[in-house]
C-alpha cells in the first residue's frame, strides 16, 4: 500500500508540473536540477532536495524571489534539506502553509544545511522580509 501511495503521489506531481502554468502562485519560481551552493542564482532563495546542498549529486532545487505560501504547488512540500539565501532580504521558511508554525530565518548570504535537525523535510512556505543589503 505504501508503494502504491508513493507512485500516486509521484504521478500527481509529474502531472502538476505539466500544468505549471495554472499554478496560483505569485513568486517567480524556478525548479531545476542542481548541486552545490552555486546552483542558487543571485537574487533568489533556494531550497535543496537533499542535505549538503544536493552534495550526493544533482537533485531538485527550487528557486524563489518572492513569497510562496504553498510549496506543495511545486511538489516540494516537506522536501527541503538545505537552504541558500542569495537574495538581499531576510527570509523565513515556515513549517506550515500560509506562513504558520515554526520558522527558520536566514539573513542575506546565509546558508543552512538542515540535516539532522527537526526542520529537515518540514518546509511548506517561504516569506521574504525587509531588504537588508543593496544588490
Q: From the centroid of its chain, how far is CA 63? A: 7
Is 3.40.50.720 the CATH number for 31-131? no
3-state secondary structure the chain: CHHHHHHHHHHHHHHHHHCHHHCCCCCCCEEEEECCHHHCCCCCEEEECCHHHHCCCCEEEEEECCCECCHHHHCCCCCCCEEEECCCEEEEEEEEHHHEEEEEEECCCCEEECCCCCCCCCCCEEEEEEECCCC
pTM, entire model = 0.82
Domain boundaries, the chain: 31-131
Q: Which residue has the cell 511545486?
A: 74
43: left (phi over 0), alpha (psi -120 to 50) or beta: left
Kindly tell me if the per-residue pLDDT of 103 is higher than 80. yes
Interval 40-78: pLDDT, tens = 999 999 999 999 999 999 999 999 999 999 999 999 999
Interval 3-25: pLDDT, tens = 444 444 444 565 444 444 344 45
Whole-number pLDDT of residue 134: 64
Amino acid at each position: 500500500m505504501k508503494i502504491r501511495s508513493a507512485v500516486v503521489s509521484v504521478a500527481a506531481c509529474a502531472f502538476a508540473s505539466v500544468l505549471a502554468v495554472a499554478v496560483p502562485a505569485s513568486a517567480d519560481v524556478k525548479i531545476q536540477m542542481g548541486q552545490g551552493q552555486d546552483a542558487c542564482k543571485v537574487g533568489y532563495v533556494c531550497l535543496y532536495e537533499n542535505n549538503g546542498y544536493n552534495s550526493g549529486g544533482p537533485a531538485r532545487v527550487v528557486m524563489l524571489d518572492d513569497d510562496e505560501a504553498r510549496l506543495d504547488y511545486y511538489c516540494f512540500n516537506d522536501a527541503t534539506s538545505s537552504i541558500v539565501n542569495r537574495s538581499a532580504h531576510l527570509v523565513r521558511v515556515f513549517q506550515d502553509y500560509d506562513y504558520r508554525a515554526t520558522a527558520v530565518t536566514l539573513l542575506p548570504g546565509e546558508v543552512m544545511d538542515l540535516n539532522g535537525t527537526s526542520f529537515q523535510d518540514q518546509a511548506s512556505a517561504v516569506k521574504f522580509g525587509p531588504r537588508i543589503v543593496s544588490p
